[in-house]
Structure 1
């Protein structure tokens, strides 16, 4: 049980649960049968476990160097050998669970996970650190539509919204750790842009994603947009705008991270609320 608790703490539980719930809600929105919905959700969950554990396993030395006592692997609560075995097993399980949903879903999920692992393996320290987030989150809405009996890729506006969500997550997720990352040689795109520019860019990306969803589901006729979609879009626009103003007029702080994450969650909700249009 000690190993299980330590491994769970290494999975980045918050993002793992959020991404898995997003997959579940997108599957519900496109009308997947219960068994397909269950496989989709479990496959995404297992994949996220593999991504989180592999990230902490690769970062264990750096986390120890900066005194990250919140990281089980850095504390030595579980061995790296056990962590790598768990990450590999979760990766294989994610692909095995994806296979019954069809080869297209399997290939898309493999691309999603391969991109995420590439970020962990080194892209996080390069100017291209945002690319895996654009790729993985861009294809993410298609995991639901490709799990249907008649698989199809999500429309272009959903790819844009997903990529915008991924960009926002990446540009803000590292903000609290910029100083620790600098001490250990991690210099991805947000480190090069700085906290203010990263926050403004992330907020603008979320706003762009919200507009893409709005225009995509309406087909150009904004009067046809469901009220709930409008509600979420207004929330996205308000929080994103507030973030941009806050970042420009006041010194960067942790509040920017929270604001962009709120805007990103609202964008995810807007995407889910418009889910029926993913298969239209």
Structure 2
């Protein structure tokens, strides 16, 4: 049995939490954030993601326990559900406080992103529109960075669209390995209704379109670095579809999506593309 601090960390969904934080920090680097402001942005996003992760494990503890989820510390009894719940609310309040110095517009965008994650955990995961919170939260993520600048600006529409598509892809690939467990506990989100194969193909089509938007959205001429990123993204999409068609879904699918999200942000930051209107 892991000790409580480690169990609490594991209950936060550390993989996705870290990736989203890195993506936000990458956006800040691309926008030319000074170090102190960049650290503030990254810490605010980290806190928001921790609140979403902990709220998920708190709200799903009983359901996870009923299907013997060995990867869930609260369900295993490694850490009290009350501790996870309290941590979720503390992180939520801290996220708001830390984001506030970035300006009211960035705060509003971050509040919307966090609300999307909490709405999913509180029940939207059970509905046909389970993808909407992910589309909203990932779609608005670039706006937190662009609106948090000393001179706030809205991100370009293609940036918002790419983020939303990555969010849908992340949602589907996160759910696919758990379809059977979810079915036993009454969860019927969009991927459950479409089925593993159809929703998996949809996820990687979303990834391909999102990568295309990042590479081609800024317009022509297309820089070599963006072409390289486009090739990587399309290759990952093809590989993902092949995996969906050939074997049962695993966490590898989600890892492909998250890796490509980091690649997309790196493309923008390193190529010096403007993501604002």
Deviation at 1:170, TM superposition (A): 0.5
Q: Distance in 2 between the 1:259 and 1:117 partners?
A: 23
Shift of 1:242: 3.6
1:269 aligns with 2:263: yes
Counterpart in the other structure of 2:185 = 184
Q: Is the 8 A contact 2:137 2:167 kept in 1?
A: yes
Aligned to 1:27: 28
Structure 2 match to 1:244: 241
Offset of residue 194 of structure 1 = 0.8
Per the alignment, in what secondary structure is the counterpart of residue 187 of structure 1?
Answer: coil
Q: Which residue of 1 aligns with 2:98?
A: 97
5 Å-filtered alignment, 1:65-76, equals 65-76=66-77
TM-score by length of 2: 0.93
Contact 1:111 1:136 in 2 (8 A): yes
Correspondence for 2:135: 134
Measured at CA, do residues 226 and 260 of structure 1 come closer, stay the same or move farther in structure 2, by a change above 3 Å? farther
Indicate how the Cα distance of structure 1 residues 13 and 183 shifts in structure 2: closer, same or farther if over 3 A, else same: same
Structure 1 residue 152: Cα displacement: 1.1
Q: Deviations over 1:153-190 (max 9, x none)?
A: 21000011101110110011111111111111111101
Please, what is the CA RMSD of the aligned residues? Answer: 1.7
| Structure 1 partner of 2:52 | 51
Select between 229-238 and 50-59 the one with higher mean Cα deviation: 229-238
C-alpha change, 1:170 and 1:263, in structure 2 (3 Å) is closer
Offset at residue 82 of structure 1 (A): 1.6
Q: Name the CA distance, whole Å, in 2 between partners of 1:100 and 1:20.
A: 18
Match of 1:173 in 2: 174
Query: 1:60·1:74 contact (CA, 8 Å) conserved in 2?
Result: yes
Structure 2, unmatched stretches of 5+, are none
Contact 1:239–1:260 (Cα < 8 Å) also in 2: no
> What is the aligned partner in structure 1 of residue 231 from structure 2?
234
Question: 1:121-180: per-residue Cα shift (whole Å, max 9, x none)?
Answer: 000011010000110000111111111100112100001110111011001111111111
User: Partner of 2:248 in structure 1?
Assistant: 253
| Deviation >6 Å, runs of 4+ | none
Note if contact 1:232-1:267 (Cα within 8 Å) is conserved in structure 2: no
Contact 2:55 2:88 in 1 (8 A): yes
In the alignment of these two chains, the number of paired residues is 273
1:245 is displaced (CA, Å) by 4.9
For residues 228 and 253 of structure 1, the distance between their equivalents in structure 2, rounded to whole angstroms, comes to: 34
Corresponding residue for 1:112? 113
Distance 1:79 1:244, change over 3 A: closer
